[in-house]
Chain A
Amino acid sequence: MQLFPCPFCGPRDEREFHFAGEIGKTRPDTTGEVSAEDWARYLNTQRNEKGRVREVWMHLTCSELFVMERDSVTMEVLSSTPLREDVE
């Protein structure tokens, strides 16, 4: 099994991790009117990049969310950082 680095627990078995989503999507402001196109884009459209990707993951055993940067072809992990430092 591959080892993924949790920023809080260190290197752990890949099966303990859950992919949450691509980073950088902002939920439309639902206090105002949101068009069907904007809402559909937010819900469904993915960048789905080949190569270097930045994603939000959860380490299920400690329940912490974090940002993992990896290569979507080689599965090499490039970095993992706590989410709250990244987003402020």
Chain B
Amino acid sequence: MARRYSAWSLFREGLRGHKGWGPAWRSPEPKKRYDVIVIGGGGHGLATAYYLAKNHGITNVAVLEKGWLGGGNTGRNTTVIRSNYFYPESVALYDLSLRLYEGLSKDLNYNVMFSQRGVTNLCHSEPEMEMAARLVNAMRLNGTDAELLDADQLRKFIPALNIRPDARLPIHGAVLQPRGGTGRHDAVAWGYARAADAAGVDIIQNCEVLDFITEGGRCVGVSTSRGDIRADRIGAAVAGHSSVLAEKAGVGLPITSYALQAFVSEPLKPVLDTVLISPVTGTYVSQSDKGGLVIGGGLDRVPSYGQRGNLPVQETVMAGLTEMLPILSKVKLLRHWAGIVDVTPDSSPILGPSALEGLYFNCGWGTGGFKAIPAGGYLFAHILATGAHHDISRPFGADRFTTGRLIDEGAASGIAH
């Protein structure tokens, strides 16, 4: 059982030269059998294990991770947390996540550094301002917070912004979600891992799932690089590699994997205290607590499993950045990387059973998986514990691609997925 972190424990360890900290979680040998196996030790997988223990009392759980915890998209995203979506189903899902994030540091006894500095979505034309007003109204009707800012309000809110009317892409206003912000991505993975481990969950790293064991048309376990492991229910939360895993199970998924790139600059003095997103310029940016600008852009337009950046997207993103914030044009980049994201035809996630009985998927979050970690874990735990959908996850079943009841957020909220 991990020791509780507190101001007192930090003070005491400070006096002792910080020599008394133990590992935050165990590294157990895999058992032969569990009630539930979760494949993927990223945010969603670890959160699933945590909520299985916390909400459903199921602690005989293994999380299998082929690399190290949070080494995929959980450690590669730009840490933005928001719920500024259009459809009621989406707001119900992402606002559950936002609410869980608001209490997460306390819940996990681990500081995830959720900073609610606001998420500001820019509009670059009058018609966009009309769509923005519609989005603000929809968000409020759906029970989350949103404000419409005009250019004058925006100038006061973000002084560094280029609001000149003769700009190439003039800024007319923005949609602000004040409760949105950024978190510390590694801390989210580590916090969930530590809390799940304390509840009795086995977190097994360097354990790759090689194949599925089926009996009578039902998935009853997995063959791994560390032997066969059996379970009653198996959940996969492997983001960009969902298709690779599904193929081993003989299941098809409506997913295309793309690289999503991000950049971080040299550390600067405070210049931007909100998350700034511009779908038109294809760039978004926030400033980390260390002072580095964390910059992202849209998807690559070519399917890819290559976890690294490339030049065409870099050019677009940097052009957008200097268009919005010319003050940053001399800033140097430190790093540039990519994660592989799982994009569905309607830019909404897939939660629920697969075509193979006993195997469940949590995937399709595309470019927005980080913000959804608490809700993804919460709902996936419900599905794995009960075998049935939660009311919030039901619209996101894979059956929507057959019934045609899509939740097309790519079009509706104009967010570049």
Question: Chain A: residues with CB nearer than 8 A to chain B?
Answer: 1-2, 14-15, 18-19, 36-37, 40-41, 43-51, 53, 55, 72-75
Contact = CB atoms under 8 A, between A and B. Distances in A.
A73 B254 contact: no
B33 to A, nearest CB: 30
21 contacts: A1-B311, A19-B301, A36-B403, A40-B254, A43-B345, A43-B401, A44-B344, A44-B401, A46-B243, A46-B253, A46-B254, A47-B247, A48-B253, A49-B243, A49-B247, A50-B244, A53-B303, A55-B303, A72-B303, A72-B304, A72-B305
A54 to B, nearest CB: 12
Interface of B: 241, 243-244, 247, 252-257, 301-306, 310-312, 344-345, 401-404
The 4 lowest CB-CB distance pairs between A and B, nearest first, are: A44-B254, A48-B243, A45-B252, A40-B402
Nearest to A19: B302
A49 B344 CA distance: 15
Nearest to B252: A45
B249 to A, nearest CB: 14
Contacts of A72: 257, 303-306
Given A48-B255, A48-B257, A37 B303 contact: no
B312 A44 contact: no
A23 to B, nearest CB: 13
Contacts of A1: 311-312
A2 B311 CA distance: 9
A44 B345 contact: yes
A4 to B, nearest CB: 10
Contact of A45 (B253, B310, B404): B253
- Of the listed residues B305, B311, B312, the one surrounded by the most CB atoms of chain A closer than 10 A to its CB is B305
A60 to B, nearest CB: 12
Contact of A50 (B255, B305, B312): B305
Contact of A48 (B302, B303, B306, B312): B303
B242 to A, nearest CB: 8
B303 A19 contact: yes
A15 B306 contact: no
Contact of A2 (B254, B305, B310): B310
A14 B301 CA distance: 11
A75 B304 contact: yes
Nearest to B307: A73
Contact of A37 (B243, B256, B305, B402): B402
A18 B300 CA distance: 11
B268 to A, nearest CB: 29
A51 B401 CA distance: 26
Contacts of A40: 254, 401-402
A47 B402 CA distance: 17
B404 to A, nearest CB: 8
Nearest to B300: A19
A17 to B, nearest CB: 8
B241 A50 contact: yes
Given A46-B243, A48-B253, A36 B402 contact: yes
A1 B241 CA distance: 26
B300 to A, nearest CB: 9
Nearest to A74: B306
B16 to A, nearest CB: 47
A53 B254 CA distance: 17
Contacts of B306: 72-75
B312 A15 contact: yes
Nearest to A45: B252
A37 B401 CA distance: 9
Contacts of A75: 304, 306, 310
B256 A46 contact: yes
Contacts of B255: 46, 48
